[in-house]
Amino acid sequence: MSIHVVLVHPEIHWNTGNAGRTCLASGATLHLIEPLGFSLDDAQVKRAGLDYWEHVDVRVWPSWEAFERELPRFGAPFFFETNATQLFWDVPLAPAEGTVLVFGRETGGLPLALRERYADRIVALPMTSERVRSLNLSTSVAVAVYEVLRQRRLVS
């Protein structure tokens, strides 16, 4: 029952570093889909991941298509978007075959082609204030990962 976090074209190094730290803490694998808006050699990524970064299971993919060919072996995918009509806590995020949590870039979310192809698998984190457009990417990753862990604990 593995957890995979996928960041499609992430733009901000500290979000990726923080997501990596969450992945390490929860036993998840972090997948990064190029192009990235920064270099993984950037000291800022390592600073955000603190001294944990070297232990994070990070896999970099040259494109969504390359990752998508391998997607079935990782588990059931769930795509996070702010304007989704289905809330993530109304979906069983912990299927036995594994969970893949997919997030888009900070400034634009997921590419339109992915939103269209996986329309039935798009979920949102609830936000009650109309003044908030979206949550920070690394915050969203943490909330989603820990919801998967919570759901798994309920069925254990």
Q: What is the mean pLDDT of residues 4-10?
A: 98
Over residues 137-154, the mean pLDDT reads 92
Torsion angle, CA of 140/132/10/39, rounded to 10 degrees? -100
Domains assigned to the chain: 3-155 (3.40.1280.10)
pLDDT band at 136 (very low <50, low <70, confident <90, very high): very high
Q: Taking a C-beta distance cutoff of 8 angstroms, is the pair 9, 113 a contact?
A: no
- Provide the whole-model pTM: 0.94
Q: How far apart are the first and last CA of the chain?
A: 12
pLDDT tens-digit series, residues 42-98:
666 666 656 787 899 999 999 999 999 999 999 999 999 988 989 998 998 888 789
pLDDT at 49: 57
Residue-wise pLDDT for 11-51, tens only, equals 998 899 899 999 999 999 999 999 999 888 766 666 665 67
Largest CA distance in the chain: 40
